[in-house]
């Protein structure tokens, strides 16, 4: 008999989810982590980034308090950046402490150190070989950059941006990359008064991949209105750190240009962390980009009794996807019949201002696939609660098969899109029809009313729209 039923390699969302779920099912579990439990999401990514976005929202609301009847002294509201980071770090530390407490409560053995895999498919930490029947690899990912963009004192990745030691915010910053990470940080910086330029290689500079482009355009319009300089089709060259500034050369349509800023944030994506850990040597197949290859129905790798989940797998790099994959892996180990993750319908959220969230197909994807569909849209200004909140930018957009067929795409941009989209996620995954959702009651006044009213319009009738 092995000492453990499962050894989990990595303490990020997929790792601690696998460990906690397995322990709750009565399995004996060890979890290996070289750094702080919680991984990138809790310590350097999702949680601290959203903490900064919340701070930016508070600051933005203070600047517009006069619209609600509050008179504040002009020019006296300043950003105390160390205090912002202290609050953010307090949230992170509390969550890490709670997570470690829960792991101990479930009697999961926490092994500190850098884990590698030996030829027998066992995890090794220092001189200890962890004897486990099954292994779940959750080694995660790290920020990537291109040659000439290496991190330094004035060139940072998202990891450093969420753990900044700056005493004050930079006066100017260039964000390279218009994906989810780049757009969220651009939203933070521009709202806190930093002169912010976003440089994106693809023609559409804001969320060019993944999001429905009509809906993403609302985020772009709002950011530009608030002062963001967003430049699409920008091929960025080698950065030069001048000591007190950074020179950023870029080319747009064959024209060479330069930008001088105090800081540069490189947000061109993340890469799997799979090198130097013995996976390939142990018979775990990796693709040419370093992702571990798995059977997504079970999350099994090419090595017997070895599974992989999370960012180290070529699936959507989202913490909640890692949670779901962890459950699939553990249920398969338990001999159950897990329901695989439907990656085409997972919920996506960008926590910029305004927020954007979606599940299912975009209109671009539906057209490319040659799928017949109907589309209905609804703007926020007709919603009473959005006017009360003071957030009327954005829209809802729903795609469904013709003649009251199943809903295939749900897209929302505006206030609390991150929370509202769950109803749309259920509708897409349960293949609900617009009429089935339309007859359900949405409370008044509420932001969620926009969902029900848009569903009604598929019938050719409407209320306020």
Q: Which residues are annotated as a binding site for FAD?
A: 50, 115, 311
Helix (H, G, I), strand (E, B) or coil at 241: strand
Q: Are strands 132-137 and 4-9 parallel, antiparallel or unpaired?
A: parallel
Helices 46-63 and 180-191 meet at what angle, rounded to 10? 30
d(CA 220, CA 240): 28
Q: 395 by DSSP, 3-state: which? A: strand
> Could you give the C-alpha distances from 268 to 162, 176, 181, 406, in angstroms and in order?
16, 7, 8, 35
Question: Which letter, b or e, does each residue of 111-147 get, where b requires 16 or more Cβ atoms within 10 Å of its Cβ?
Answer: beeebbbeeebbbbbeeeebebebbbbbbbbebebee
Task: List, as residue ranges, the binding site for NAD(+).
Answer: 177-184, 200, 269
Tokens of 443: 């409370």
Rounded to whole angstroms, the Cα distance separating 265 from 107 reads 40
The residue with tokens 């799928």 is 371
Phi, psi of 23 (to 5 degrees): -65, -40
Give start and end residues of each alpha helix (H) in 25-157: 39-43, 46-63, 81-105
Tokens of 73: 């002294």
Q: What count of other Cβ atoms lies within 10 Å of the Cβ of residue 441?
A: 7
> For residue 460, what are the contacts with CB-CB under 8 A and spacing of at least 6?
none
Active-site residues, by number, are 444
Please enumerate in sequence order all residues whose Cβ is within 8 A of that of 243, keeping only pairs 6 or more positions apart, or say none: none
Give the whole-angstrom CA distance, residue 22 versus residue 37. 17
């Amino acid at each position: 008999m092995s000492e453990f039923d499962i050894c989990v390699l990595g303490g990020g969302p997929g790792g601690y989810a696998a460990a906690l779920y397995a322990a709750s099912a009565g399995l004996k579990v060890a979890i290996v982590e070289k750094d702080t439990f919680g991984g990138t999401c809790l310590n350097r990514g999702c949680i601290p980034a959203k903490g900064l976005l919340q701070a930016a929202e508070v600051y933005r609301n203070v600047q517009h308090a006069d619209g609600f009847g509050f008179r504040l002294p002009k020019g006296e509201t300043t950003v105390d950046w160390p205090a912002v980071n202290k609050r953010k770090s307090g949230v992170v530390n509390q969550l890490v402490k709670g997570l470690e407490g829960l792991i101990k409560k479930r009697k999961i053995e926490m092994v500190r150190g850098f884990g590698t895999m030996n030829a027998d498919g066992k995890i090794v930490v220092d001189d200890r070989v962890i004897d486990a029947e099954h292994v779940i690899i959750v080694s995660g990912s790290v920020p990537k950059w291109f040659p000439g963009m290496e991190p330094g004192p004035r060139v940072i990745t998202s990891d450093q941006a969420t753990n900044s030691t700056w005493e004050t915010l930079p006066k100017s910053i260039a964000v390279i990359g218009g994906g989810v990470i780049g757009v969220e940080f651009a939203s933070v910086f521009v709202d806190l008064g930093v002169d912010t330029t976003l440089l994106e290689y693809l023609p559409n500079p804001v969320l060019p991949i993944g999001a429905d482009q009509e809906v993403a355009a609302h985020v772009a319009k709002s950011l530009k209105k608030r002062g963001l300089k967003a430049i699409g089709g920008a091929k960025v060259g080698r950065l030069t750190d001048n000591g007190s500034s950074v020179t950023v050369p870029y080319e747009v349509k064959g024209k060479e240009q330069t930008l001088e800023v105090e800081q540069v944030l490189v947000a061109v994506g993340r890469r799997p962390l799979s090198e130097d850990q013995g996976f390939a040597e142990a018979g775990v197949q990796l693709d040419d980009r370093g992702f571990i290859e798995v059977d997504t129905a079970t999350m099994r790798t090419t090595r017997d009794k070895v599974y992989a989940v999370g960012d180290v797998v070529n699936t959507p790099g989202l913490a909640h996807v890692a949670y779901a994959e962890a459950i699939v892996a553990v249920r398969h180990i338990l001999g159950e019949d897990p329901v695989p993750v439907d990656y085409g319908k997972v919920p996506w959220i960008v926590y910029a201002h305004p927020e954007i969230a979606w599940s299912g197909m975009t209109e671009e994807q539906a057209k490319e696939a040659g799928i017949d569909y109907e589309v209905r849209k609804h703007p926020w200004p007709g919603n009473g609660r959005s006017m009360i909140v003071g957030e009327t930018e954005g829209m809802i957009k729903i795609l469904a098969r013709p003649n009251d067929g199943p809903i295939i795409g749900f897209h929302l941009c505006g206030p609390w899109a991150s929370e509202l989209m769950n109803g749309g996620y259920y509708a897409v995954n349960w293949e609900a029809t617009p009429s089935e959702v339309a007859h359900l009651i949405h409370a008044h006044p509420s932001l969620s009313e926009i969902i029900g009213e848009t569903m009604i319009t598929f019938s050719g009738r409407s209320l306020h729209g």
